[in-house]
Chain A
Amino acid sequence: NAGVTQTPKFQVLKTGQSMTLQCAQDMNHEYMSWYRQDPGMGLRLIHYSVGAGITDQGEVPNGYNVSRSTTEDFPLRLLSAAPSQTSVYFCASSYRGTTQYFGPGTRLTVL
């Protein structure tokens, strides 16, 4: 098993550009989520999904969009990047209340 994978590992964007952060898991986990990590603030939930076709907002959803067409994939889209979205992004997955496993993270810089 590859576990939870994220691409890319690093990305630099200009203000106003859009992009998609990819997340995939091969553990047949129902639950997937996206967090962002900012200095001094811990990790905060952006969006989550409890299964294919079902998504919901977390604590800081503005400026981000998600969809879940398959169990394996949960991409995060930045619609129009802003400097405030400079952060490290983590994807996580779990199965029915068990421990969440995290991907390696994507460091995003918006200039």
Chain B
Amino acid sequence: AQTVTQSQPEMSVQEAETVTLSCTYDTSESDYYLFWYKQPPSRQMILVIRQEAYKQQNATENRFSVNFQKAAKSFSLKISDSQLGDAAMYFCAYRRANFGNEKLTFGTGTRLTIIP
């Protein structure tokens, strides 16, 4: 069974600084997707970034980028120029690539605090 581990329950960063959230996963599959979701106090789950395992290039979305290390099964999220609106729970998630089995396996989350 696949597992996703987020070893940092809480992180904090000064506004405008850079922070990296860690995620490791365990799978025997070779083709899969990895995601970072953001959950602000409103409770809404918002997709931040997505990475396909077959792609060697790390995904980026504006101030958000990932460091995907397939051999190490590591998938960290870097937030640059942190803003107050980035404060939220961040969840790492894994999904196998085949249609019909689109179960997302989530980590336990990292609560990110932005210090003004």
Contacts and interface: CB of A to CB of B under 8 A. Distances in A.
Interface string A80-111: 00000000101010101101111011010000
Interface of B: 4, 35, 37, 42-45, 47, 50, 91, 97-100, 102-104, 106-109
A contact face: mostly helix, strand, loop, or mixed:
strand
A102 to B, nearest CB: 4
10 contacts: A31-B102, A33-B102, A41-B108, A44-B106, A97-B97, A97-B98, A97-B99, A102-B37, A102-B45, A105-B43
A111 B45 CA distance: 26
A105 B4 CA distance: 22
Contacts of A94: 102
A35 B107 CA distance: 13
Contacts of B37: 102
Interface string A20-54: 00000000000101010000111111001010000
Interface of A: 31, 33, 35, 40-45, 48, 50, 58-59, 88, 90, 92, 94, 96-97, 99-102, 104-105, 107
Contacts of B109: 42
Contacts of A59: 103
Contact of B103 (A40, A58, A102): A58
Contacts of B91: 42-43
A105 B102 contact: no
B102 A100 contact: yes
Given A97-B97, A102-B37, 14 more contacts: A31-B102, A42-B106, A42-B107, A44-B106, A45-B103, A50-B100, A59-B103, A97-B102, A99-B35, A99-B47, A104-B43, A104-B44, A105-B44, A107-B43
Nearest to A93: B102
A9 B108 CA distance: 23
Contact of A40 (B35, B42, B47, B108): B108
Contacts of B108: 40-42
